[in-house]
Amino acid sequence: MTERILFTNARLLDPASGIDRAGELLAENGVIAALGPTLSQDGLGADVRVVDCAGCCLAPGLTDMRVQLREPGDEHQETLATGAEAAIAGGITTMAMLPNTVPTIDDHALVEFVSRRSREIGRTAIRTYAAATKGLHGHELTEYGLLAEAGAVAFTDGLRAIADAVVMRRALSYASTFDLLVVQHPEEPSLSAGGAMNAGEIATRLGLAGITPAAETIMVERDLRLVEITGGRYHAAHVSTAGAIDAIRRAKARGLDVTCDTAPHYFALNETAVGEYRTFAKVSPPLRSEEDRRAVIDGLRDGTIDAIASDHSPQDQESKRLPFASAEPGIVGLETLLPLSLELYHNGSLSLLQVVRAVSQRPAEILRLPGGRLKPGAPADLAIFDLDRPWRIDVAALRSKCKNAPYDGRPVQGKVTRTVIAGRTVFGLEP
């Protein structure tokens, strides 16, 4: 039986086509059938179910290209099911999880396990990266072709840099034979070893070992040289420094197949958020200087930074309530990805379509996933949000199992009111 749903009274946002206008969208059997200013006036029939969007923005569902979900192995911190619930509350209809689970996702059976569990949960689509090297040890490459065939979206060693230049060259060359993407954690490990926060005056005052911004820049610049040699597809994750962003900007100008993303904490916070040893503000790479924070915004504005990912990293109390140097890095971010990104619109740094492009269209394109666009034939995966609704982030109310975030009480504007997957409402708030 054909299921037809008309989303009416909406502000349609589609950065791929430049659409930003009032209108309606018709979903039929899980895909977008039509969109336009006055579909309901064309006599769609009595079998159409109507959803009134109450003037809210209707955009392609968010694609979060960097999350940690801890299953299998550390389900006390997060599971695929709890992560999916948090994701749909944030308007995320697709997410890609890192392979740093226990055991590591370096075998096709584990890639298939994630796909099967995603279907069983039936909420947001959960895809996974596969490890670039076996066991994430940085030495022996995994079977890229078999893992991609099983459903891996790209290859990365997660929180670890592929530090050996010979291994990275082989990874890029091997991946290029299958036209696959290699994702790097851009941090030169010998320069970051033992560091707890950004190197500088604040680290010195707090007596904490610093991580120089050059650790990121050096790794990115080395990798870009290897991309030139191999012709591989390369993505730098969570870039946070002016030097790395400038290197990627120049590489793109030379025509290299290079992309990158950042996370909200690198434009919403700077190193002062560490305050008096606030471990909830400890991340990897660390929060940077105000100059670097502004460089991240500039990179988003000019398109050097392609995407914004939540970098969702759940940590339990026992991992965070420790001396700063001993605490685990990471911030949960599935439910705060959109409102923190919308700050860039509300403060005039980016246009609304630029924000939507960074959290929806571009990550889907980089990972070659369906979605990210409002066009006939595309999946009816939608995020509907009230652009101007004010609220305060209540960390205790987040749906993630862990509550490690430094945003408690932060005022934001923009609230997801409905999340739709394949035409089906999976999350909704009362107006």
Looking at domain 62-366, which of 3.20.20.140, 3.40.50.300, 3.40.190.10, 3.40.50.2300 is its CATH number? 3.20.20.140
pTM of the model: 0.96
Among residues 351, 353, 348, 412, the alpha carbon closest in space to that of 386 is found at 412
Q: Which CATH superfamily is domain 4-58+380-428 in?
A: Urease, subunit C, domain 1 (2.30.40.10)
DSSP letter at 258? E
pLDDT, position 39: 85
- Which residues make beta-bridge pairs with 261? 307
CA gap 426, 423 in Å, rounded: 9
- Residue 318 and residue 403 in contact, taking contact as beta carbons nearer than 8 Å: no
- CA dihedral (319, 290, 224, 176) in degrees, to 10, reads 50
pLDDT, position 177: 96
CA gap 354, 74 in Å, rounded: 36
Residue 52 in tokens: 């009134």
**Cβ atoms within 10 Å of 395's Cβ, excluding its own:** 19
pLDDT, position 43: 67
pLDDT, position 431: 47
- Residue 73 and residue 101 in contact, taking contact as beta carbons nearer than 8 Å: yes
Walk along the chain (431 residues) and give the pLDDT tens digit of each residue: 578 999 999 999 999 999 999 999 999 999 999 999 988 766 677 789 999 999 999 999 999 999 999 999 999 999 999 999 999 999 999 999 999 999 999 999 999 999 999 999 999 999 999 999 999 999 999 999 999 999 999 999 999 999 999 999 999 999 999 999 999 999 999 999 999 999 999 999 999 999 999 999 999 999 999 999 999 999 999 999 999 999 999 999 999 999 999 999 999 999 999 999 999 999 999 999 999 999 999 999 999 999 999 999 999 999 999 999 999 999 999 999 999 999 999 999 999 999 999 999 999 999 999 999 999 999 999 999 999 999 999 999 999 999 999 999 999 999 999 999 999 999 997 54
- Residue 336 and residue 310 in contact, taking contact as beta carbons nearer than 8 Å: yes
Indicate which residues carry an active-site annotation.
311
Q: Give per-residue burial for 62-95: e unless 16+ CB within 10 Å, then b.
A: bbbbbbbbbbbebbebbbbbbbbbbbbbbbbbbb
Residue with the two structure tokens 């969570």 = 238
pLDDT, position 1: 59
Among residues 71, 63, 139, the alpha carbon closest in space to that of 99 is found at 71
Give 34's Cβ-side CA count (13 Å radius): 10
**Domain boundaries defined on the chain:** 4-58+380-428, 62-366
